[in-house]
Amino acid sequence: MAGTIAVVSALGMTAVLGGCGVTGGSADVTLKLVAADYGDSAANSSQKYWDKLVREYEADNPGVSIDVSVYSWNDVDRKVREMVSAGDPPDMAQIGAYADYAAQNQLYKADDLLSIPVQADFVGQLASAGQVKGVQYGMPFASSTRVLFYNKALFAKAGITPPKTWDDLADDAEALKAEGVKYPYALPLGPEEAQAETMQWMLSGGGGYTDSVDSYGIDSPENIDTFSWLKEELVGKDLTGPVAPGELNRADAFAAFAKGEVGMLNGHPSLMKIAAKKGVEYGMVPMPGKEGTSKSTLGVADWMTAFKKNGHRDQIGDFLDFVYSEKNVLAFSREYDLLPVTASASATMTASDRDRHLRPFLEELLTSELYPVGKTSWADVSAQIKQQIGKAVAPGGSPSGVLGHLQAVAARAESAE
């Protein structure tokens, strides 16, 4: 696969650029699937995963051929949009979002496709996040959570223990700063993935992007308190490093952690490989909350969708039942260090010694909350958060002012849905 370039999925995972495809043989029905690449090189391209899965499925289902095209995260959502706009959608698309297509009545409901045991096996939070007005259109395909990573050597040198509360985190950051650590706590609120760090902190303060009735609540008292604390206790005390949080991107924060320049930061499973490659010894603990471990953490997911345009409902459903079998979900999750989207595969990984490195993330999944991806407004709101949220903690910035502005943007986008 030529011309590789690192890009990012909704999970924040790196992936490679490629437009390779595999076409099945002649059959009564050919299903087209467009899928995203989770690999970071040609050697572990998702193309290999799909090639093997399709060969197995076609061997047992001679009347159905599966034509798979794999694209990088840089391209896959755009490719599907172009196909839909041209009136030629794929039968299935494994992509980063589903709400727009659901709102336009272009997708099959999960109820219409999957067998009851398969649909019932989805992890509850992920299945709920795939719903629009109580109906599931997005089928979770891959998931991830975030935990707090810390540099064991820097913590030992500073004589500190991993934090359980915000106050602990601030005290640890002070001790790390006194030891000359460049980024005591790395706070990436730059445009690459600020919506993730923002939600992680909002949840730890008892807030979030939405309220109990699923309306936007970005400027809730809890969220304002959280960002006021960040501004005053971390950023204002120079505990977040030399780059302003609004200019620090997640990839740069991860790279700095791998260089041994970061004491603490929120991370997902791919940071384990990045740090281990550079010989950084790290520990992982749940995200600290205001008065104890955070009650919920950020969960993220990518989605499988099925378009109605070409029909083939029964064949699509049968193939997806196979895709979501425990064997295939485990194979995919283990290949890319992602969390399984089914309860059966999650239980297997939790009990398996070979997957012990993922246990902290698996444990977080059960209390995770996801972005409000069922809202068609979320893409615009998320884009505004990426651009604006850093100002909330900047010198002279107003947490209530910035969050109030974002709430107004969200309310307008919501009413336009």
From 11-25, 43-57, 79-93, 127-141, the region with the lowest mean pLDDT: 11-25
Asked if residue 314 has pLDDT above 60, the reply is yes
pLDDT of residue 414: 87
The predicted-structure confidence for 358-388, as pLDDT tens digits, reads as follows 999 998 888 899 999 989 899 889 999 999 9
pLDDT of residue 18: 43
pLDDT of residue 12: 60
Strand partners, 342: 122
Q: Residue range 23-30: average pLDDT?
A: 63
Q: Considering the entire predicted model, what is its pTM?
A: 0.86
pLDDT of residue 206: 95
Angle at 337 between CA 335 and CA 342, to 5 degrees: 90
Asked if residue 36 has pLDDT above 60, the reply is yes
pLDDT of residue 371: 93
- Which residue has tokens 């281990």? 276
Q: Residue range 80-106: average pLDDT?
A: 94
Confidence band (pLDDT; 50, 70, 90) for 73? confident
pLDDT of residue 10: 61
Please give the distance of CA 48 from its chain centroid, rounded to a whole number.
Answer: 22
Is residue 231 within 8 Å of residue 399, measured between CB atoms? yes
Exposed e or buried b for every residue in 181-196, given b needs 16+ CB within 10 A? bbbbbbbbbbbbbbbb
Mean pLDDT (the chain, rounded)? 91
d(CA 44, CA 108): 31
Cα distance between the two ends of the chain: 40
The strand pair at 147-151 and 262-267 is best described as antiparallel
pLDDT of residue 123: 93
Confidence band (pLDDT; 50, 70, 90) for 9? low
Q: Residue range 277-294: average pLDDT?
A: 94
Share of the chain above pLDDT 90, in %: 80
Residues 6+ away with beta carbon under 8 Å from 213: none
d(CA 182, CA 16): 31
Confidence band (pLDDT; 50, 70, 90) for 23? very low
- Find the helix packing angle between 194-204 and 378-388, rounded to 10°: 90
pLDDT of residue 270: 87
Asked if residue 166 has pLDDT above 70, the reply is yes
Asked if residue 26 has pLDDT above 50, the reply is no
From 4-18, 237-251, 331-345, the region with the lowest mean pLDDT: 4-18
d(CA 406, CA 216): 10
